[in-house]
Amino acid sequence: MLLGIPFSELVITLFSLLLCGVIAGFLAGLLGVGGGIIFVPCFYILFTVFFHIDPNIAIVVATGTSLLCMIPTSISAARSQYKKGNTDLAVIKAWSVFMLLGVLVGIMVSKFFGGAWLTLLFGSIMILNSLNTIFRAKAKPAFESLPGKFGQGIIAFCIACFSSMLGIGGGTLTVPVLNACSVEPHKSIGTSSAVSLFVCVPGAILMLLTNTTPEHAPIGTFGLVNVLAAACVIPVSYLCAPLGVSVGKGIKPVTLKRIFAVALFIISTRMLYSGLSYYL
């Protein structure tokens, strides 16, 4: 026994965290999603199954931990994408202030209304996102270009708000939005990697410093962030992000969209099932 957990379960937990880091880092570079779509369900399952944490607490701590884990992953992916010329700096400059405001609102909402409903919200939004991407993989963009500054401000605010609430980096929502506005897929992915930084950095700081640690939170939790879990996955995810970027460079845009959609659908279905099971 160690930390109240049987040694065999502890080994499985450690292996699961390392695998989570590998997959999340690779997908962050490949798809520009920041890794949150992997981190959140992985941490949620870990906290509820192995640590027997109440789902209402587990999902909130999983969200905060995910935001912290995505910081180095997003930095690694963003740097690699920038070097390959896939980052639209004009979009980043136009969105930056609105994203910071969106993160602040999103963290406040999750703080006061957080719990099992976040699991349902995560699953629902991600399933809709994945289905839209699957069925529109070859579809023409809905718009010829991005809207004006005001329209882009609203888009940036909403993406950051929902992303910080769900513990995802912003890329999961940014990629389909940019694709719908006629931004080339590789450019969408590269830009979304940078967008993730504007979500996960302030989001993690707020979750870490402005929240009281729940009474029955997993060991190693500070505020709403589990530092021990983050320490296991961060090094691995950081190293794997550039690999995803390199692989993605040689994949057709339509194929990238489908990979993104299938991965998203599988994970979000699992999260939706967990949320429904809690209420039923």
pLDDT tens string 14-30? 888 888 788 877 877 77
Say what the pLDDT of residue 102 is.
95
Say what the pLDDT of residue 32 is.
63
How far is the C-alpha of 36 from the C-alpha of 33, rounded, in Å? 7
Say what the pLDDT of residue 115 is.
63
Q: 62 and 43 in contact (C-beta within 8 Å)?
A: yes
Q: Based on C-alpha coordinates, what's the Rg of the chain?
A: 18
Instruction: Identify the CA nearest to 199 among candidates 89, 92, 84.
Output: 92
SS (H, E, C) 11-22: HHHHHHHHHHHH
Say what the pLDDT of residue 200 is.
92
Q: Which residues of 253-274 are buried (b: 16+ CB within 10 A; e: fewer)?
A: beebbbbbbebbbebbeebbeb
Q: Which residues of 53-82 are buried (b: 16+ CB within 10 A; e: fewer)?
A: bbbebbbbbbbbbbbbbbbbbbbbbbbbbe
Instruction: Identify the CA nearest to 183 among candidates 222, 207, 220, 152.
Output: 152
Mean confidence (pLDDT) of the chain: 82
Low-confidence ranges of the chain (pLDDT < 70): 1-6, 9, 32-34, 114-116, 136-139, 253, 257, 271, 274, 278-280
pLDDT in tens, 230-239: 998 889 888 8
AA identity, residue 162? F
How far is the C-alpha of 3 from the C-alpha of 100, rounded, in Å? 38
